[in-house]
Amino acid sequence: MGKEMIEPQEAWERIMAEVSPLPPRRFTLDEVAGRVLAEDVRAEADHPPFAASTVDGWAVVAGDDSPRRRILSGDGRAGEMPAVTVVPGTAARVMTGAPLPPGADAVVMVEDSEVEGEFVHLTRAVRPGENVRPAGSDLAARQLILAAGMVLGPAEIGLLATVGRFEVWAYPSPRVAILSTGDEVVEPWESPGPAQIRDSNRYALMAAVREAGGAPLSLGIVPDRPEALREAIEMALDQADVLITSGGVSEGERDHIGPLLAELGTVHFNRVRQKPGKPFTFATVRGQPCFALPGNPVSALVSFELYVRPALRRMAGHTRLRRPEMPVRLRHPLQPDPVRTEFVRAVVEQEGDGWWARTTGAQASSRLLSMLGANALLRVPPGPVLPEGTGVTAILITRPEDH
C-alpha cells in the first residue's frame, strides 16, 4: 500500500469496519464490574417475596376501632416467619425487613408508641398499609430488569444478586499486547546513553488500555530490525486479541512496521490528515486489529484516545464508543494547521454562562506536558486564524470529577 492520507472520519470508519465484539463468556458477580452485559435478565419472582415491615415497630390492624391500647402478642424478626396472627386489640413486635404477621395491615413505628407492661399505647393514628412494603413492590416476577448491552455498575450488580444471578453472560476485556520499538529506546530504570531516550509510551499506553477496559500485556522494547519485529509481532498476536506498537511508522529507513504488517496481513491505512498522529498504520493480521502508533508520546496517546480506545470499547461490547463532545469558545486566538485537522489539548471550564477553552501551552507532539491537566481535545479544522471567542468542538477526555 502506498502512502495515501485519509481524513480522521475515514480512519474511524475503516477501523470500525474491522473490529467487532469479542464472544461473550460467563462471569461471576465479583468479576463483572465495568463489563457489558450480553443477555437480558428478568426477575424470577416477586421482590420482596413477602409483605415486609419497613421500620421497627408494632404490627397492627389499622381499621381496629378499639382505643389505641393493644395487647402485645408476640415477636417478628427479620429472617423468621411470624408465629402469631394479629387480631383487633393486639399488636406484635416486628423488626425492619421482617414479614408482616398474618392479620396485620400496618406497622406503627416504635417512636410513635409507649410500652406499658403487657400493653403498647399508640401515640398517633395509623392508616392501612403504613410502613409496609408489599410483596413484589420492588420487582415483579418476570419483569425485565437488565437488558443486553447495559454496563454493569454497582446498582446493576446489586440487582443481579437480588434475583439470584451469581453468573451472567458478559463481554470479556480485550487482551492488548503493547510493544515499543526503536533502537534509541531504553527502559525507564536505565540511564539513557548519549543518543537514547526512555520508553514512556509503553507505560502510558498500558495505563490508557486499562482505563479503556482492556487488559494490557507489556511485551518490552524491540529494536528497529525486521526479523526481531516480525518475531515480536507474531508472538504478541498469539497471546493477545489486539496489538499496539509505537514508533517506526514514519518515512525513515528504519521504519519497518508498515511493510511488516503488510506482509503479515492487510494494511487498511497508514496516514491520517491530522495533527498530532499523522503517521499511524492500522492493519489486521489473522483478523486481529494492529494499531501501529507514532513514536512521539503525545501522538501515541492522542491516536490511542481517538481510535484505539473506541475500538477496545467495541470489542468489550460497548455501543457508546466515543467520548462526549460539547461546543466551547476559545479563551484566546488559535492558529490552525493549514492542511490537517488538529486535536489541541485544552482545559475546558465553565465561566459565567458559557464553557471556555484554553490550550495547555506549546503543542509539540513530543511534549507530554501538553497532555497534563488537559480535560479535552479541541477538534480544530484547517483554516485561517481563529479569534478569541470563536466556537469550536471539545471532545471531553476525562470525567468532571477527575479535575
The residues binding Mg ion (CB under 5 A) are 182, 247-248
Q: Which is nearer to Mg ion, 101 or 294 (CB)?
A: 294
**Number of shown-chain residues binding ligand AMP (CB under 6 A):** 19
Least distance to Mg ion from the beta carbon of 252, Å?
A: 6
Q: Is 39 helix (H, G, I), strand (E, B) or coil?
A: coil
Nearest to 176 by CA among 9, 31, 313: 313
Judged by CB under 6 A, the residue of 200, 218, 266, 393 near ligand AMP is: 200
Which residue reads 498504520 in cell numbers? 281
Q: Which is nearer to ligand AMP, 226 or 381 (CB)?
A: 226
Rounded to 5 degrees, what angle do the CA atoms 25, 29, 30 make? 105
Least distance to ligand AMP from the beta carbon of 338, Å?
A: 22
**Binding flag, residue 371, ligand AMP (CB under 6 A):** no
Piece in contact with ligand AMP (CB under 6 A), picked from 125-133, 149-157, 178-186, 370-378 = 178-186
Sign of CA dihedral 101, 106, 109, 114: negative
Distance CA 375, CA 346 (A): 6
Q: Which is nearer to ligand AMP, 143 or 200 (CB)?
A: 200
From ligand AMP, Mg ion, none, which one binds at residue 297 (CB under 5 to 8 Å depending on kind)?
Answer: ligand AMP
Nearest to 242 by CA among 273, 224, 219: 219
Judged by CB under 6 A, the residue of 213, 216, 248, 310 near ligand AMP is: 248
Piece in contact with ligand AMP (CB under 6 A), picked from 21-29, 270-278, 294-302, 305-313 = 294-302
Least distance to ligand AMP from the beta carbon of 143, Å?
A: 52
Sequence-distant (6+) residues with CB within 8 A of 216 are 176, 178, 205, 206, 209, 210
Cell numbers describing residue 12: 474511524
Helix (H) or strand (E) holding 357: strand 354-359
Least distance to Mg ion from the beta carbon of 25, Å?
A: 38
**Binding flag, residue 310, ligand AMP (CB under 6 A):** no
**Binding flag, residue 250, ligand AMP (CB under 6 A):** yes
Least distance to ligand AMP from the beta carbon of 223, Å?
A: 12
Amino acid at 336: P
Distance CA 95, CA 347 (A): 53
Least distance to Mg ion from the beta carbon of 198, Å?
A: 14
DSSP assignment of 72-132 equals: EEEEE-TTS-------TTEEEEE-TTPBPPTT--EEEEGGGEEEETTEEEESS---TTTTE
Q: Which is nearer to ligand AMP, 171 or 280 (CB)?
A: 280
Q: Which is nearer to Mg ion, 153 or 220 (CB)?
A: 220
Which residue reads 473506541 in cell numbers? 310
Q: Which is nearer to ligand AMP, 156 or 199 (CB)?
A: 199
Helix (H) or strand (E) holding 259: helix 257-264
**Binding flag, residue 294, ligand AMP (CB under 6 A):** yes
Q: Which is nearer to ligand AMP, 81 or 364 (CB)?
A: 364
**Binding flag, residue 247, ligand AMP (CB under 6 A):** yes
From ligand AMP, Mg ion, none, which one binds at residue 200 (CB under 5 to 8 Å depending on kind)?
Answer: ligand AMP
The answer to whether 184 touches 195, Cβ cutoff 8 Å, is yes
The site for ligand AMP (CB under 6 A) is made up of 180, 182, 184-185, 197, 199-202, 246-250, 252, 294-297
